[in-house]
C-alpha cells in the first residue's frame, strides 16, 4: 500500500500487523475493537495466516502463547474487560520470555462498564497487570498513522526482547478514520534468530520453555535476568513528543486521544498569549521521566490530562519529585474531556 | 480552511456513508481529515451521527464541541445539534422529516425536502446524497460532478447499478441549494 487510504484505527492495526509479518491472530469479540477481529478474519486466510475466533479471551491468549513458542509472530486484541481476562496469559508470556503483541482498545470501566472511550487501564498496562515482577513495553498511539507505525515496531521489539508488547489505544482511536500509508516491513529489523523455539527435537537436544522454576535460587536468577532486560528497554526504547516546552510556564502531559484534545486546548490558550507546552509520552512504559524531570524546576506547573480518575499522573509526580506542582484534569467512565474544559483549567491555574 | 461537520439522522438514512464519503473527498482534494462515527447502542433504532473534521493544518482533536456545519436528517438530530452549531454556522435541514423551525437566528439555514427530491431522482434512500449535493455546492469542497465520479470508488460494486440515481440526487441537492 503505497498510496494513502482511508481506514479506521482497528483495521489499520490488522493491516499493519500483517505487513509486519504477523501470521497468527486469535481473539474474542468485544466493542469497540470488533472491526479488528473482523478484518483479521478476512485478511489472514488471504495471507496464508491463521485466524481463530477463540471460545474465550483466556483461550485466545493461550493460543497466542502456543503460536509464539512455535516461532510465529502472534497477536491478540480486546478491550478492557477482555484484557483483564488475558492477564494470566500475559504474565506467563513474560515469565517464559515469549514475544507477542496485545492490543487494548480501552473502554469505560470498572466491570463490564460501557463501550465509550477511556484510558483507565493505564495502571494495568504499565504496572504489571498480571502477577509477578514483569513489565511490558506499552505504546500509546495518538493517531491512525502512528498506530500503523507502532504496530510494526511492536512486533520487532517483542522479538528483540522476547517480551510481550502492548498497544494501549481507546475506542476513539479504534473507530476513527484517517488517511494512512501502511508500509510493508521487510524482514525482522535487527531481531536475533529464534534459536529457542519448539520445532520438534529432530537431530538436536530438546528445548524447554517453562515458567515453573522450583530449584532453590533459580527463580530469583531468572528474575534478575528479566530485570536486566527491562533496564535495557528503559535505556533504549523511550519515545515521546514535545511541543513548546522550552519557554513554557505550564506544560500539559497527556497521551493518546487525550493528547489530541489537550493540543486543541493548547492552541486555544496560546492565542491568548499563555505560554503553554505539551509532553506526549508515546511509550507509557518505559515512561519518559527524564524530560519531565528536566523541565520541572523551571516551569510554573504541570497539568496532566487523562480519560481516567488519574493514573499516569502518578508517574508524572514521581518524575517531578516535588519540584513543582502537578495538577490533574480527567474525565472517567467513558467521559471525554473537551478542549474548552482543559483551556478553562489552564486559565484557572495561571 | 478548517471545517467541522456533524451529520446526524436515523440509523439507515446513510449518515455514516455520507460522512465517510465526505472524508474520502477531502482526502482526494489533499486535505487533512478525521472521521469519527458514533458507535454507541444508539446506532440501533435511534439516531446515529458522525463527525468529519477537514483542515489544511494538522488536526488536533477528532471531536467537535461546536461544529461549523450540521447536516440533520431527522428531528431528534436538530434538537441535539442545533444548539451546538457555531455562530454563523451552516445548518442543512431535511424538511421532508422536520417540520420545526430552528430556534436560532445567528446561523445560516438551508431547508431541503431531501426525501422528496430523492424520490424524484428515483430512490428515496438516496436522500443522503441530496443533502451532500447541497453541502458540496455551498461549501465547495469539490464540484458535484467530481463527487459523482468519486462515488464509484466508495460505493461497493454490487451497488453500482445505483450510481445514476445517486448522481441525480447529488445534482438535485446541489441545484436546490443554489436556488
Q: Which of A29, A34, A113, A178 to mutate to test the interface with B (most CBs of B within 10 A)?
A: A178
Pairwise CB contact (< 8 Å): B32 & A175: no
Query: Could you tell me the strand order of the sheet in which B47-55 lies?
Result: A5-8, A177-180, B32-37, B47-55, B2-10, B69-72, B90-94, B108-112
Expressed in percent and rounded to 5, the helix, strand and coil fractions of chain A are 40, 20, 40
**Are the C-beta atoms of residues A243 and A267 closer than 8 Å to each other?**
no
Residue A263 Cα, gap to closest chain B Cα (Å): 6
Domain boundaries, chain B: 2-178
Over residues B99-129, the pLDDT tens digits come to: 999 999 999 999 999 999 999 999 999 999 9
Which residues fall within 8 angstroms of residue A273, CB to CB, at 6 or more apart? Answer: none
Taking residue B11's Cβ as centre, other Cβ atoms within 10 Å add up to: 14
Confidence class for position A177, pLDDT limits 50, 70, 90: very high
Give the right CATH number for B2-178 from 2.40.50.140, 3.40.920.10, 3.40.1160.10, 3.30.420.40. 3.40.920.10
B89 pLDDT more than 90: yes
Pairwise CB contact (< 8 Å): B20 & A264: no
Pairwise CB contact (< 8 Å): B34 & A339: no
Q: Nearest by CB to B27, which of A179, A336, A340?
A: A179
**Are the C-beta atoms of residues A337 and A258 closer than 8 Å to each other?**
yes
Mean pLDDT of B127-150: 96
Residue for grid cell 422529516: B97
Taking residue A228's Cβ as centre, other Cβ atoms within 10 Å add up to: 9
Domains (range + CATH), chain A: 5-193+207-236 (3.40.50.970), 241-349 (3.40.50.920)
Over residues A302-333, the pLDDT tens digits come to: 999 999 999 999 999 999 999 999 999 999 99
Pairwise CB contact (< 8 Å): A115 & B27: no
Q: What is the pLDDT of residue A184?
A: 77
Written as nine digits, the cell of A189 is 529489523
Over residues A244-270, the pLDDT tens digits come to: 999 999 999 999 999 999 999 999 999
Find the Cα–Cα–Cα–Cα dihedral B36, B125, B67, A31, rounded to 10°.
-20
Q: Which of A3, A6, A181 to mutate to test the interface with B (most CBs of B within 10 A)?
A: A6
Residue of B nearest to A334 (CA): B40
- ipTM for the predicted complex comes to 0.94
Pairwise CB contact (< 8 Å): B35 & A176: yes
- Give just the sign of the alpha carbon dihedral A79, A53, A212, A71: negative
B36 pLDDT more than 80: yes
Q: What is the pLDDT of residue B39?
A: 79
Q: What is the pLDDT of residue A186?
A: 58
| Percent with pLDDT over 70 in chain A | 98
Amino acid at each position: 500500500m503505497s498510496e494513502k487510504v482511508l481506514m479506521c484505527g482497528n483495521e489499520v492495526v490488522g493491516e499493519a500487523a500483517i505487513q509486519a509479518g504477523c501470521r497468527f491472530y486469535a481473539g474474542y469479540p468485544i466493542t469497540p475493537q470488533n472491526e479488528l477481529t473482523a478484518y483479521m478474519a478476512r485478511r489472514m486466510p488471504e495471507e496464508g495466516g491463521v485466524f481463530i475466533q477463540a471460545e474465550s479471551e483466556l483461550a485466545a491468549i493461550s493460543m497466542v502463547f502456543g503460536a509464539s513458542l512455535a516461532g510465529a509472530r502472534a497477536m491478540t486484541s480486546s478491550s478492557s474487560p477482555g484484557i483483564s481476562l488475558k492477564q494470566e496469559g500475559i504474565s506467563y508470556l513474560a515469565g517464559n520470555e515469549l514475544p507477542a503483541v496485545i492490543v487494548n482498545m480501552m473502554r469505560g470501566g470498572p466491570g463490564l462498564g460501557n463501550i465509550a472511550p477511556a484510558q483507565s487501564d493505564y495502571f494495568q498496562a504499565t504496572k504489571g497487570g498480571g502477577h509477578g515482577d514483569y513489565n511490558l513495553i506499552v505504546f500509546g498511539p495518538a493517531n491512525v498513522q502512528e498506530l500503523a507505525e507502532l504496530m510494526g515496531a511492536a512486533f520487532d521489539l517483542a522479538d528483540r526482547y522476547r517480551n510481550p508488547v502492548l498497544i494501549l489505544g481507546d475506542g476513539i482511536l479504534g473507530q476513527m478514520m484517517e488517511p494512512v500509508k501502511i508500509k510493508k516491513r521487510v524482514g525482522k529489523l535487527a531481531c536475533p534468530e529464534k534459536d529457542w523455539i519448539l520445532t520438534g527435537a529432530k537431530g538436536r537436544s530438546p528445548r524447554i520453555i517453562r515458567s515453573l522454576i522450583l530449584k532453590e535460587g533459580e527463580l530469583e536468577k531468572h528474575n534478575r535476568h528479566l530485570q536486566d532486560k527491562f533496564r535495557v528497554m528503559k535505556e533504549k526504547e523511550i519515545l515521546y513528543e514535545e511541543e513548546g516546552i522550552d519557554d513554557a510556564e505550564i506544560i500539559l502531559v497527556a497521551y493518546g486521544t487525550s493528547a489530541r484534545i489537550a493540543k486543541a486546548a493548547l492552541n486555544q490558550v496560546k492565542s491568548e498569549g499563555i505560554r503553554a507546552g505539551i509532553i506526549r509520552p508515546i511509550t507509557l512504559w518505559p515512561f519518559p521521566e527524564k524530560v519531565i524531570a528536566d523541565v520541572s524546576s523551571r516551569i510554573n506547573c504541570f497539568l496532566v490530562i487523562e480519560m481516567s480518575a488519574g493514573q499516569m499522573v502518578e508517574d508524572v509526580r514521581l518524575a517531578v519529585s516535588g519540584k513543582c506542582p502537578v495538577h490533574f484534569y480527567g474525565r472517567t467512565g467513558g467521559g471525554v474531556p473537551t478542549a474548552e474544559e482543559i483551556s478553562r483549567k489552564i486559565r484557572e491555574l495561571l | 480552511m478548517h471545517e467541522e461537520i456533524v451529520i446526524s439522522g436515523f440509523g439507515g438514512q446513510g449518515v455514516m456513508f455520507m460522512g465517510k464519503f465526505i472524508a474520502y473527498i477531502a482526502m482526494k482534494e489533499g486535505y487533512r481529515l478525521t472521521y469519527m462515527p458514533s458507535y454507541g447502542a444508539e446506532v440501533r433504532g435511534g439516531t446515529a451521527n458522525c463527525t468529519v473534521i477537514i483542515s489544511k493544518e494538522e488536526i488536533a482533536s477528532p471531536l467537535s464541541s461546536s461544529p461549523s456545519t450540521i447536516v440533520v436528517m431527522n428531528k431528534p438530530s436538530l434538537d441535539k445539534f442545533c444548539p451546538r452549531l457555531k455562530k454563523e454556522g451552516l445548518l442543512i435541514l431535511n424538511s421532508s422529516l422536520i417540520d420545526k423551525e430552528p430556534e436560532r437566528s445567528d446561523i445560516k439555514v438551508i431547508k431541503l425536502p431531501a426525501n422528496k427530491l430523492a424520490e424524484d431522482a428515483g430512490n428515496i434512500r438516496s436522500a443522503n446524497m441530496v443533502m451532500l449535493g447541497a453541502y458540496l455546492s455551498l461549501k465547495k469542497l469539490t464540484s458535484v460532478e467530481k463527487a459523482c465520479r468519486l462515488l464509484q470508488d466508495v460505493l461497493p460494486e454490487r451497488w453500482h447499478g445505483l450510481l445514476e440515481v445517486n448522481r441525480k440526487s447529488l445534482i438535485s441537492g446541489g441545484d436546490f441549494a443554489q436556488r
